[in-house]
Amino acid sequence: MALFAADGERVADRGASEPPGPAAAAELRNLLSEVAAPAAVGHRIVHSGPRLTGHTVIDARVRALLADVADLAPLHVTPALRMVDAARELLPDVPHVACFDTVFHKDLPAPARTYAVPERWRAEYGLRRYGFHGLSYAWALQRTAQALGRPVDDLQVVLAHLGGGCSACAVRNGRSVDTTMGLTPLEGLVMSRRSGSLDPGALLWLQRQHGLSTDELDDTLHRHSGLLGLSGTSGDTRDLVRARAEGDDAAALALATFTLSCRRGIASMAASLDRLDALVFTGEIGEDQPEVREEICSALTVLGVQGGLHVPELEDLMREGLRRVDGAGGGVPVLVVATGETQQIAAETRRVLGTADGTR
C-alpha cells in the first residue's frame, strides 16, 4: 500500500511479505489514520479476463467480472479482491480504479496471442495469450526511452521482469508484440516458486500414470516448483548465490536452469523484433542480483549483448530509478530500471479519472 502526492512523491507506504488476508482491512485502516485522505484508490489487478481491456473504475459490474476470472491467476486476483473490498468499504466515497497487468499486452498481434488449438477452444473457452507484468513494463519502457534519449515509438527493446514471477516482453515502437506468459502467469520462464513452461504431455502423464489430481498439480506448479523446487531450499536467488559459493550443487543447478530459461525467453522475444535497441532488467531479481544479470548477458552474444556489466549500488539505483550497466565494448545497451509498478498504478489511476492536478 502506498500514498502518492500529485507530483508523484511517495508520501507513505506499507509493505508485507504475504498476500492480503483477513487483516487487510485493519492494515489499511491503520495507514489511513496516519495520512491525508486519498482522492482515489488504484488497485493492481493481474488479470483482466476477456471483457475488460482497459484500466477502469470498479463498480458492481466490474467487481463481478473480476470474480469470474480469479481462477486464471489464483495467486494474485483472489488476494487482490480482498483488498478491493476492504478499501471500497473503508473509502466508499472515492473512486476505485482497477489497473491491469494485461492491458499493456491488449494489442498483441494475432500470431503472438493465439495458441495452436482447435477453434472451439479459442472461441468458446477464450483460450489465448494475455501476458502479464504490464504495469512494470509500462514504467520500465518510459524510463528506458528517457535514458536513451529516444521516443518510445522509435524503440525496439526486450524487457525482462525478474522477481517472484518472471517474464520477458518484446516491445516494437511502443507496443507489446510478444511475451512469455500466456493465459495465466504460470507459463514462460522459470520463477521463484512457479515452474514456468512445462511439456503439457508431462502433466497428462502425471495425471494418468501417477494419479496426481488437478489440485495437487495446481499447488505444486504454483508454490513448490521453480527455484525452490530445483534447489530444495529456497526460491530466493540471493540465498542460492551464497549456497552455490559454498558448494551446494542443487543451488548451482537451480541458478543455471533459471538463467538458461531467461536467455531462452529473451532470445525468443528478440525474434519478434527487427533490431535490439536495448535489453532492460527490472523486478526484484532484475534490479538487485548482479550475478544473475551477468550470467544472462555474458551468454547472449548471439544477440549482440555482452557481459562485463557494471554493478550499480542499489541505493543509487533506487534513488535515480535507472542505470545503464553495459560496458564499453559497443554491445547492445543493457539497462536496469527500479521496479515502478506502484508509481505506474498512481499514474494510470489519474489518467482514468482525469485528475492530473494538485490533489492526492
49-58: per-residue pLDDT in tens?
999 999 999 9
User: Cα dist. 289→238, 286, 298 in Å?
Assistant: 7, 6, 14
How confident is the model over 136-149, as a mean pLDDT? 97
The whole-number pLDDT of residue 358 equals: 37
Share of the chain above pLDDT 90, in %: 91
Whether 163 shows a pLDDT value over 80: the answer reads: yes
Q: Provide the grid cell at 281.
A: 532488467
Beta bridge partners of residue 45, listed in sequence order: 100
How sure is the predictor about 360, in pLDDT bands with cuts at 50, 70 and 90? very low
**Among 250-259, 280-289, 323-332, the least confident range:** 323-332
Query: How many Cβ atoms are within 10 Å of 27's Cβ, its own excluded?
Result: 16
Whether 340 shows a pLDDT value over 50: the answer reads: yes
How sure is the predictor about 18, in pLDDT bands with cuts at 50, 70 and 90? confident
Are the beta carbons of 70 and 81 closer than 8 angstroms?
yes
Terminal-to-terminal C-alpha distance of the chain: 14
Q: Is 316 a catalytic residue?
A: no
List phi, psi (to 5°) of 70.
Answer: -60, -35
Residues 215 and 206: their CA atoms lie apart, in Å, by: 12
Strands 156-162 and 278-282: parallel
Question: pLDDT digits over 77-122, tens only?
Answer: 999 999 999 999 999 999 999 999 999 999 999 999 999 999 999 9
Using DSSP's 3-state secondary structure scheme, residue 4 falls into: strand
List phi, psi (to 5°) of 253.
Answer: -65, -40
At 2, which helix (H) or strand (E)?
strand 2-4
How sure is the predictor about 330, in pLDDT bands with cuts at 50, 70 and 90? confident
Whether 174 shows a pLDDT value over 50: the answer reads: yes
Write down the residue that cell numbers 558448494 correspond to. Answer: 247
Using DSSP's 3-state secondary structure scheme, residue 288 falls into: helix
How confident is the model over 224-234, as a mean pLDDT? 98
Whether 359 shows a pLDDT value over 50: the answer reads: no
How sure is the predictor about 16, in pLDDT bands with cuts at 50, 70 and 90? confident
The whole-number pLDDT of residue 293 equals: 98
Contacts 24+ apart (CB under 8 A), 120-126: 126/50
CA nearest to 140, candidates 323, 353, 351: 323
CA nearest to 130, candidates 18, 55, 52: 52
Residues 204 and 201: their CA atoms lie apart, in Å, by: 5
Catalytic residue among 7, 59, 71, 101: 101
Q: How far is CA 173 from the centre of its chain?
A: 20
Query: How many Cβ atoms are within 10 Å of 60's Cβ, its own excluded?
Result: 7
Beta bridge partners of residue 213, listed in sequence order: none
Using DSSP's 3-state secondary structure scheme, residue 258 falls into: helix
The whole-number pLDDT of residue 20 equals: 80
The whole-number pLDDT of residue 58 equals: 98
Mean pLDDT of the chain: 95
Residues 180 and 178: their CA atoms lie apart, in Å, by: 7
Q: Provide the grid cell at 345.
A: 498504478
Are the beta carbons of 72 and 148 closer than 8 angstroms?
no
How confident is the model over 286-302, as a mean pLDDT? 97
Share of the chain above pLDDT 70, in %: 98
Q: Provide the grid cell at 265.
A: 525467453
Query: How many Cβ atoms are within 10 Å of 249's Cβ, its own excluded?
Result: 10
How sure is the predictor about 21, in pLDDT bands with cuts at 50, 70 and 90? confident
How confident is the model over 143-148, as a mean pLDDT? 97
Whether 357 shows a pLDDT value over 70: the answer reads: no
The pTM of the full predicted model, rounded to 2 decimals, is: 0.95
Whether 14 shows a pLDDT value over 90: the answer reads: no
Residues 205 and 256: their CA atoms lie apart, in Å, by: 26
The whole-number pLDDT of residue 316 equals: 93
How confident is the model over 218-228, as a mean pLDDT? 97
